[in-house]
Structure 1
Amino acid sequence: MVLLLLSIKAELENIAFLEPSDGFDYFFRVKCTSCNEQHPKLVSLNRAEEFEVSGSKGNTAHFVWRCSLCKRGSSAKFDPSKTLSYTEEHSGQLAPFLKIECRGLEFTSFEPRGSWTCHGTTGTVFKDVDLVENDMWTDYDEKVGLPVSVSEFDSEWRRA
């Protein structure tokens, strides 16, 4: 078992914090640790969905996968701690975001697809923020007449 930590980085302009919306689907690239075969497509995980791990005694995981090359079964489960918000204090730096317990696989990259929520420094909430399009999101906070944006999104996996 390996515990992986995903850290994210972004430039925030007039944004207090950025977080995944409820029911967020996380999209990752995955590789088998047995044969090092990388799955050709992105895989998605959702905290609300759990699947039975075959060959175990009632264990569940958020992702269950069988490598197409070596046929080894693998699984991944979110650490029970809450996903962390990315705050303006972190802007431009890598900050811990979430942990995942992996058995027989490793995640190699993260795509910020899905619906994010941004909270402006004035308290304005921006929902359904899309960070995939042009690697940038911009809007306007009418409360204070300032632009808001998230740009230069990046991520990194490390062993926790």
Structure 2
Amino acid sequence: MVLFILCIKAELDGVESLSLLKNTNLCFSVRNPLSDYETREKIVFNPSETLDQDDGDREPAHHFAVKWEGSKKYSTLIVLDEEGAKSALKKVNKKSKRGKGGDGEVSLPRNVTSDDNGNYVPVLAMECRGLEPYAFHPLGNEFKVTSLGGSVFDEDVDLSDGDWGEYDEENDAAVGINAFGTKIISV
């Protein structure tokens, strides 16, 4: 099991927070860590739904599965909820303190706030077996924006072009997100 963290950064203008919705489709590209050429581009799954499994299946419930060429078992991806992420990160951070690798402490996934402008923030934790997510592709409906005035924008927040803008009529202010970027780290 390897833990992967999706991190995002953005310049927030008139925005209090940017958050990843929990019940919407997410799009990633994944690869076989044992092969240079085996990839699956732009796979889509919903983190609030797990795949159906057979009664005798010993694997935990997962959100995506692929069987690589020549493999007997499925490789799986599980999006961790808050408790699962907390437990997994606790194990990882404990190992890194003992000198067994890691980039230091990794924090829990959370919302991006106006204090984070331009810095990468962990927003999603994934437990993967036999596959590596290497790219995130915004689809245009997976984010929620809360303005500094408290207005919520949770429809048509499309960051696929790297920016988004809207007008907060309640507070008579422009809101926007610029320089949106993502990275996936392995911990």
TM-score range normalised by the length of the shorter chain: 0.7 to 0.9
User: Once the two structures are aligned, what percentage of the paired residues are identical?
Assistant: 27
Alpha-carbon distance in 2 for matches of 1:114, 1:101 = 24
Match of 2:159 in 1: 131
Q: For the Cα contact (< 8 Å) 1:2–1:159, is it kept in 2?
A: yes
Write out aligned runs for 1:3-152 (5 A).
Answer: 3-52=3-52, 56-57=57-58, 59-67=60-68, 69-71=69-71, 73-81=74-82, 84-115=110-141, 116-128=143-155, 129-132=157-160, 134-152=161-179
**Between Structure 1 and Structure 2, which shows a larger proportion of helix residues?**
2
Secondary structure of 1:23's counterpart equals coil
State TM-score, norm by structure 2.
Answer: 0.76
Moved over 3 A (4+): 52-56, 69-72
Question: 1:107 deviation in Å?
Answer: 0.4
**How many residues align structurally?**
158
Gaps in structure 2 of 5+ consecutive residues: 84-108
Instruction: Report the CA distance shift for 1:53/1:102 in structure 2 as closer, same or farther (over 3 A).
Output: farther
Question: 1:64 deviation in Å?
Answer: 0.7
Alpha-carbon distance in 1 for matches of 2:168, 2:153 = 9
Q: For the Cα contact (< 8 Å) 1:2–1:103, is it kept in 2?
A: yes
**Between Structure 1 and Structure 2, which shows a larger proportion of strand residues?**
1
Q: For the Cα contact (< 8 Å) 2:17–2:112, is it kept in 1?
A: yes
Gaps in structure 1 of 5+ consecutive residues: none
RMSD between aligned alpha carbons? 2.1
